[in-house]
Amino acid sequence: MKVHITGVAGVLGSYLAELFTKMGFSVQGNDIVRIDEAWRLKGVRDSIKYIWKATQDLTQEDLAGVDLIIDAGLMVADRPMGTSSPEFTMLGNLLPPLRLLELVRRIPNNPFVVYPSSFNSLYGHPPGTTFTEDTLPNPSTVYGWTKGSAELLYLAYHKSFGVRAIITRVGSSFGPRGRSDELPHRLIIYGLLGRPFKLRSPYASRLWTYIEDAGSFYMKLVEKIMDEPDTVVGKVLILAGNKGDRVVTNVELAELIRRFIPTLEYELGEYEPGELINGKPVHFTINSERTRKLLNWQPQYTLEEGLTRTIEWFKQNLHYYV
């Protein structure tokens, strides 16, 4: 199988590039950073084809012979520009998938396209809601609405033009090589540096997923695409959770990390946009049994196990972030 990954130099993209290479796939990808600056790819630079382009600049020639596309390009989030520039967020988040879909629908071999959407950003439902694959998006931020719009765009191209699209709603993930703006990684970095941290949205909740569990999810998904594609094409699947599906507040997460990094000090800050619903902090549970049964997949790492592995990696690789 020949796989193309957009945003291949990012966290998810680089991890999948490494995973698919080990599986024996032919792997290529595009991103907007120079290959010699793509430090997350250093383990597979000589094993993949790297295309130095933005997604909206790809051509049919770039995707020749590709069987599967993972659209893992990082979109424009609410921080730092999205809150103050909704137009920038809309263009940055909807133009690349639109251009990619227009390209894909004209490719004769009709590759599969997987769109890793968001989980937390799509929801602005009352606290205590249980989410399933059928829960409709109700975002409370511009970023969330653009993610939801991109989902509908993929499904519309599936229904209108036969594009073999699959939506994966990815929960908050963490692990080695993680982005410094994700909360677990920020807490770890500040703790290791002994710097005080302002913990925003302290009692809003998140369901964190360790990156190796995310990887095993995509391995199962690829197997299903190869063996029984009709069971997943046009579907929304949920990639979220840890062993036990433990949902924690940001304060609880900080306290878990402080067990391993006693030098972590933090103070409570204000709530970010979308983290309060009707004056109450975001809190939810999931029921993704349909997805898990379909793919025969379960998270294997508890939150604590994932954090322990992540902290050890950051201790050895802090120089990438400071």
Beta strands 205-210 and 247-249: pairing type? antiparallel
Judge whether residue 50 has pLDDT over 70.
Answer: yes
Average pLDDT of the residues in 168-194: 93
Residue 82 to residue 74: CA distance in whole angstroms: 13
Q: State the pLDDT at residue 83.
A: 54
Q: State the pLDDT at residue 157.
A: 98
Q: Are 182 and 310 in contact (CB under 8 A)?
A: no
Average pLDDT of the residues in 267-277: 88
* H runs (alpha helix) in the chain: 11-22, 86-104, 142-161, 183-193, 211-227, 250-260, 289-295, 303-317
Q: State the pLDDT at residue 82.
A: 44
> CA dist 119 to 44, 189, 218, 236, 284, Å?
29, 25, 16, 11, 11
Residue 259 to residue 210: CA distance in whole angstroms: 18
Residue 291 backbone phi and psi in degrees, to 5 = -65, -45
* Domains along the sequence of the chain with CATH: 2-178+209-245 (3.40.50.720)
Judge whether residue 252 has pLDDT over 60.
Answer: yes
The pTM score is 0.93
Instruction: For 57-97, write each residue's pLDDT tens digit.
Output: 999 999 999 999 999 986 665 554 445 577 778 888 899 99
Residue 283 backbone phi and psi in degrees, to 5 = -155, 140
Residue 203 to residue 65: CA distance in whole angstroms: 48
Which helix (H) or strand (E) segment holds residue 247: the answer is strand 247-249
Average pLDDT of the residues in 19-42: 94
Q: State the pLDDT at residue 81.
A: 44
Average pLDDT of the residues in 45-61: 94
Q: Are 207 and 245 in contact (CB under 8 A)?
A: yes
- The conformation of residue 87, written as its DSSP 8-state character, comes to H
Instruction: For 104-161, write each residue's pLDDT tens digit.
Output: 999 988 999 999 988 777 877 888 889 999 988 888 788 888 889 999 999 999 999 9
Instruction: For 198-240, write each residue's pLDDT tens digit.
Output: 999 999 998 999 999 999 999 999 999 999 999 999 999 999 9
Find the largest Cα–Cα distance for the chain: 57
Judge whether residue 275 has pLDDT over 70.
Answer: yes
> CA dist 37 to 70, 76, 94, 255, Å?
22, 20, 26, 34
Residue 18 to residue 75: CA distance in whole angstroms: 21
Judge whether residue 299 has pLDDT over 70.
Answer: yes
Q: State the pLDDT at residue 80.
A: 46
